[in-house]
Amino acid sequence: MPSSRIALLIEPGSTPSSVMTTLDMINIARRYPQAADCQVDLLSSMGGAIELAAAVRVETQAMPASLARYAAVILPGFFADDVASLTLQLQTLWQPAMARLRTVRPGTPVAASCYGTFVLAESGLLDGRHATTTWWLQAVFRQRYPAIHLDADRVLVDDGNAITAGAMTAHTDLSLHMLRRLFGAALARHVGGIMLVDGARTSQRPFMALQRHFADPLIQEAADWMAQRCTTPVSTQDLAAALHVSYRTLHRRFSAAAGMPPLTYLQELRVEHAKELLEDSRLSLEQIVERIGYSDVSAFRRLFSRTAGLSPAQYRQRFKRTL
């Protein structure tokens, strides 16, 4: 068995960018002696042509009964409109892949990004391990897989032979990391240099956006109320009074729906507003802090850094738009 044969498991709807990024990186890696024999097999449950998008089709082989021959296995992300769609795909389309994942030889690195991490989790290979996933479904992931130690702030988590990456473009970091695992850091640097990718991103937090829509009407009303008043000095007691519920009831229901208490949500709304001003204006931090209803610049700087994973100055430098 060639020691550098990689299985890339795909199904209809797999993200073209993830699939093509892996193929591009492996093609570049083959230029170097240590990876000259590297081969990648595109595998699907049925084999044949797989449509990734309206204008993108790839030819695949039918998955063998066992993946034990492969030196590594990679699952890309895939598209799902909502949690119900994701759940349906996990229960149907991706079942063959889950079964094959359980046939991987012990010690073989298995990697997944974005929604692909849910497939890996369903297979049981992440139980007891540390992992990350796409940031906007971290609460769903944590609820479905309590045996997995989730750190959704991380772009990439390598826990031995289980490697997971976050939202879509994190698959680039994952593919580069897999090359590093299989062929060494020097080759990964060469490939990363050619593709202008350094694998240096460590956190998804700067890209995270706050949830604004909730199924519970009370929680939606609470979120809307705070969004309309996040630049004024209001309290969560004011919120409870406006909604005619006890603070205890509001705290319990809001925490269950949003994954955080109302006060934290209000603070993060202010951070979101500060992000917009840092990106779109030339206002100083002092002016921004005043606009969003804070009086203590140092305290807000600490809050912003804790929430966004970057200081306000770092965030502006990275995300500011040309004005």
Final residue in a domain of this structure, among 137, 171, 205:
205
Least confident of 10-24, 34-48, 69-83, 233-247: 233-247
Domain span at residue 311 reads 217-319
State whether 124 and 12 are in the same domain.
Answer: yes
Residue 211 placed within a domain = no
Angle ∠(32,202,209) on CA atoms, nearest 5: 130
State whether 120 and 86 are in the same domain.
Answer: yes
Residue 301 placed within a domain = yes
State whether 27 and 121 are in the same domain.
Answer: yes
Q: Which residues lie below 8 Å from residue 32, measured CB to CB, with a gap of 6+?
A: 183, 187, 190
pLDDT per residue over 95-121, tens digit each? 999 999 999 999 999 999 999 999 999
pLDDT at 82: 92
Instruction: Name the residue with tokens 């490939």.
Output: 191
Q: Which two tokens stand for residue 158?
A: 């390598």
State whether 130 and 246 are in the same domain.
Answer: no
* Predicted model pTM: 0.79
Residue 212 placed within a domain = no
Final residue in a domain of this structure, among 205, 237, 258:
205
Here the CATH number for the domain that contains residue 77 is 3.40.50.880
pLDDT at 323: 55
C-beta of residue 213 within 8 angstroms of C-beta of residue 136: no
State whether 177 and 200 are in the same domain.
Answer: yes
Distances (CA, A) of 136 to 49, 142, 261, 267: 31, 12, 18, 18
Residue 212 burial by CB count (10 A; 0-12/13-18/19+): exposed, middle or buried? exposed
Asked whether residue 1 carries a pLDDT value surpassing 50, the answer given is no
Residue 258 placed within a domain = yes
Mean pLDDT of the chain: 92
State whether 24 and 60 are in the same domain.
Answer: yes
Residue 267 placed within a domain = yes
Three-state secondary-structure class, residue 84: helix
Least confident of 167-176, 227-236, 247-256: 227-236
State whether 148 and 268 are in the same domain.
Answer: no
Q: How far apart are CA 272 and CA 278, in angstroms?
A: 10
State whether 242 and 156 are in the same domain.
Answer: no
Final residue in a domain of this structure, among 205, 231, 250:
205
Residue 89 placed within a domain = yes
- Number of domains observed in the structure of the chain: 2
Asked whether residue 89 carries a pLDDT value surpassing 70, the answer given is yes
C-beta of residue 127 within 8 angstroms of C-beta of residue 117: no
Share of the chain above pLDDT 70, in %: 98
Residues 206-221: what's their mean pLDDT?
Answer: 86
pLDDT per residue over 29-55, tens digit each? 999 999 999 999 999 999 999 999 888
Confidence of residue 321 (pLDDT cuts 50, 70, 90): confident
Q: Phi and psi dihedrals of 34, rounded to 5?
A: -65, -20
Residues 261-270: what's their mean pLDDT?
Answer: 92
Based on C-alpha coordinates, what's the Rg of the chain? 22
pLDDT at 3: 60
Here the CATH number for the domain that contains residue 253 is 1.10.10.60
State whether 124 and 194 are in the same domain.
Answer: yes
CA atoms within 13 A on the CB side of 176: 23
pLDDT at 48: 96
pLDDT at 240: 92
pLDDT at 2: 45
Residue 210 placed within a domain = no
State whether 17 and 152 are in the same domain.
Answer: yes
How far is residue 154 CA from its own chain's centroid?
8
State whether 35 and 57 are in the same domain.
Answer: yes
Least confident of 93-107, 183-197, 205-219, 261-275: 205-219
pLDDT at 244: 94
pLDDT per residue over 231-254, tens digit each? 888 888 999 999 999 999 999 999
Confidence of residue 322 (pLDDT cuts 50, 70, 90): low
Strand order in the sheet with 156-159: 48-53, 56-62, 39-44, 5-9, 72-75, 110-113, 162-165, 156-159
pLDDT at 163: 96
State whether 188 and 39 are in the same domain.
Answer: yes
